[in-house]
Amino acid sequence: MDVINTPSSSKRRKTSSADDGDSILCLANMPHDHLTAIADYLPKTSRALFAVALTAPSKSFRISNWKGKLSEASKAIITSTVPSLIPSPNKGAKGYNSVEKDLLTKYYGTSNWSTLCFLDIKIDNLVDKLSEDDIGAVLVCIDAKNKLKSLRLADCKDIVGNALEPLCESKVLKKIQFGRNNGKLSSSIVVPILNSIVDTDGNSLRDIVLPHSWKSVKARNEQPLNNFLVKFNESIISKSECGGENPRSCFTCFKSVCDGCNGNDGYPIQTCGHCKINICDECEYFQTCRVCNSTFCSVCAKRDDVDAAKQCEHCYGEPICFGCVSPENEDCEACLGVFYPKLRARNEELGNEIAGLCDENEAQKTRYAEEKEELRNEIDTLRKENDELKKKLSEGLGILG
């Protein structure tokens, strides 16, 4: 008799050997052309994160001191040609503005890993979910030390700097861009990494966009950032093709010029008379006092404790610093608003000093009057004692006579 399979028996779960089970359950064991086909649907940064996931958890890269061997599946995804199509934002997400579109066009037009930014996943708010370990693991997977030439981290808010360790001693990195959102970035962590790159013979680093929080005069004067800025500026000048006299570099954007070409490219560089650093007009503006010719950059001018040059917004006269203020603009209300608060403050200080001196003088007068009264009392006492002695002396002489 033929055996008829019932529905229940036909749905019986198929068993297989352990090896077959592993090949089915492990995504990394899928054919590499299938994996790369899947990765073609992902933004460029997500492809790298996909490759990380097929090797090990992100934190394991840090635990192994950012070293380790990639799985064959990860290698296939990283080495495959990256499509040049710009991904469309997810439904409900904001579209690309012109600057972002231009960046993405250049980003996706590169078929290798010479550039890396996180703008492609920022649009869908995925970049905020990246951890320090995720970014560091991506750098390891793409062999950033030997391949990455341009890195944009301006969109990564929560990084402290440890993720940049895979870039130590890189010879190929040309540009690294931080930004306003990198407020948590620690100079004590990042600067040693940047130093390792600048100290490497044959390095290519010549463009750094500093975090916004590192651009203040106070931050730039602190160590170890100040030493690095000096060293990097010297490095930029040594790499510059400009061979003129007095070469210098902007401490903010690191553009370099000499006396011969200063201003020809639209970014003239001046030296601040107060903080003594070189800054180009593109990064800051300068004001020079028309009386004493002292030059102040806009960073200094924003500080209340600096005798900076100010310009009247009403009469548009030439700037004048507080140290050279005169009452010649007393008819201009705007000038009064700019200059005279400082003068009034000084006048109040002088008034307080005079009042203090007057109080001290009155106190001295009172003290002198009290001392004078005490002396008079002592003199009166001595006179009375003298009179008594004279009287006793006369009485004694009368008895003797």
Is 397 part of any domain? no
Q: Is 53 in the same domain as 196?
A: yes
Q: Is 80 in the same domain as 206?
A: yes
Q: Is 49 in the same domain as 161?
A: yes
Is 21 part of any domain? no
Give dist(CA 388, CA 373) in Å, integer. Answer: 23
Q: How many domains does the chain have?
A: 2
Q: Is 211 in the same domain as 120?
A: yes
Q: Is 301 in the same domain as 233?
A: no
Helix (H, G, I), strand (E, B) or coil at 69: coil
Q: Provide DSSP, 336-348.
A: HHHHHHHHHHHHH
Is 86 part of any domain? yes
pLDDT of residue 199: 94
Three state DSSP letters for 226-269: HHHHHHHHHHHHHHCCCCCCCCEECCCCCCEECCCCCCCCCCCE
- Say which residue the tokens 């490095």 belong to: 235
Q: Domain range spanning residue 119?
A: 27-239
Give dist(CA 203, CA 171) in Å, integer. Answer: 4
Residue 377 tokens, joined: 């009392």
Identify the domain boundary among 239, 260, 276: 239
pLDDT under 70: residue ranges of the chain: 1-26, 28, 81-96, 109-111, 122-125, 241-244, 260, 262-267, 301-307, 310-317, 322-323, 325-344, 346, 400-401
Q: Is 309 in the same domain as 218?
A: no
Q: Is 197 in the same domain as 316?
A: no
Instruction: Count Cβ atoms within 10 A of the Cβ of residue 232 and give its class: 0-12 exposed, 13-18 middle, 19 or more buried.
Output: buried
- pLDDT tens across 281-299, in order? 777 777 777 777 877 877 7
pLDDT of residue 7: 37
The dihedral over CA atoms of 360, 366, 371, 374, expressed in degrees to the nearest 10, equals -160
**Count of residues in the chain:** 401
Q: First and final CA of the chain: distance in angstroms?
A: 180
Q: Is 196 in the same domain as 297?
A: no
Is 191 part of any domain? yes
pLDDT of residue 145: 94
The pTM assigned to this predicted structure is 0.63
Q: Is 118 in the same domain as 203?
A: yes
Helix (H, G, I), strand (E, B) or coil at 207: strand
116 pairs with which residues across the strands? 151
Is 280 part of any domain? no
Q: Is 218 in the same domain as 329?
A: no
Is 284 part of any domain? no
Q: Is 199 in the same domain as 135?
A: yes
Is 334 part of any domain? yes
Angle at 150 between CA 147 and CA 156, to 5 degrees: 115
pLDDT of residue 119: 75
Q: Is 193 in the same domain as 313?
A: no
